Structure 1
Amino acid sequence: MVRIVNYIKRQKEDGTTFCTLEVQAGIEMVLSQKTNQYYVTAKKTFISSTFDEETCQALIGTQVQGSIVKQECEPYEYTVKDTGEVIVLNHRYVYSPQEATGSSSTTANSDGLEAFSKNGKYETVLAD
């Protein structure tokens, strides 16, 4: 499952606007190659929509069947916001309507409850 966490209004080359939905997968633990310590992260991506801003706003917090998967692409430069370092990547993350299998990510804490943020604050809800 993924959760709609935000939306962004974008402009096409012809000047018309549309909204993209930002979707986020569950959390996953990643081992830092520099510090050898774990940190928590979540994969995010954007999906184009035909919805207006009001509808997109109402959809924030909605869970959608599917997952976010890594997809190979043409190499491109990416600037790391925190350090300003420019790196070359050859992948991107995209939404897939299929659930990921064998994923190491988790969205459940030790109490068996799922934790999601609808508004940037930690919230715990009962798992289905």
Structure 2
Amino acid sequence: MVKIISFKTNQSEDGKEFCTLMVQGGIEAVKSKKTGRTYLTARKASVPCTFTKEVCETLIGTDLEGGIKRIEVEPYEYTVEETGEVIELTHRYEYLDDSSTIIQQNVIETQEVF
């Protein structure tokens, strides 16, 4: 289960404005690689939508079925907002509804042999 916590307006490559809902999963305990200490966090992801700003505002606080999964991607630079530090990441977080999660858990990747 995830909760809609906010939204942002963005502009597509062709100049059209659209909204992105920010969703957040439940609290999870994570161990710091630097200190070895446990801290609490919650995964967040953005989900593009076709809703207006007004509709997005009314959706804040709504729960959605599904979860947020860590997806490995090509390395990219990310600036930490609080400190301005630029770091390199190799993952992103993506919202998956329950049916997508079930499918992803049950798909076996195969490699074609010629």
Same fold (TM over 0.5): yes
Separation in structure 1 between the aligned mates of residue 8 and residue 85 of structure 2, nearest angstrom: 25
After TM superposition, the score normalised by the length of structure 2 is 0.80
Aligned to 2:3: 3
2:67 corresponds to 1:48: no
Separation in structure 1 between the aligned mates of residue 81 and residue 67 of structure 2, nearest angstrom: 25
CA-atom RMSD in angstroms: 1.8
Aligned to 1:95: 95
The structure richer in helix per residue is 2
Aligned pair count reads 101
Match of 1:58, SS? helix
Separation in structure 2 between the aligned mates of residue 81 and residue 14 of structure 1, nearest angstrom: 27
2:58 corresponds to 1:58: yes
Moved more, 34-43 or 51-60: 34-43
The runs of 5 or more residues in structure 2 that have no matched partner are: 103-114
Give 1:73 shift: 1.2
Residues 1-128 of structure 1: matches in 2 within 5 Å?
1-98=1-98
Give 1:85 shift: 3.0
Separation in structure 2 between the aligned mates of residue 37 and residue 83 of structure 1, nearest angstrom: 21
Give 1:14 shift: 2.0
The runs of 5 or more residues in structure 1 that have no matched partner are: 102-128
Separation in structure 1 between the aligned mates of residue 83 and residue 35 of structure 2, nearest angstrom: 16
Deviations 1:30-75 (A, max 9, x none): 1112222221110000000000011100000000000000111111
The alignment-based identity, stated in percent, is: 51
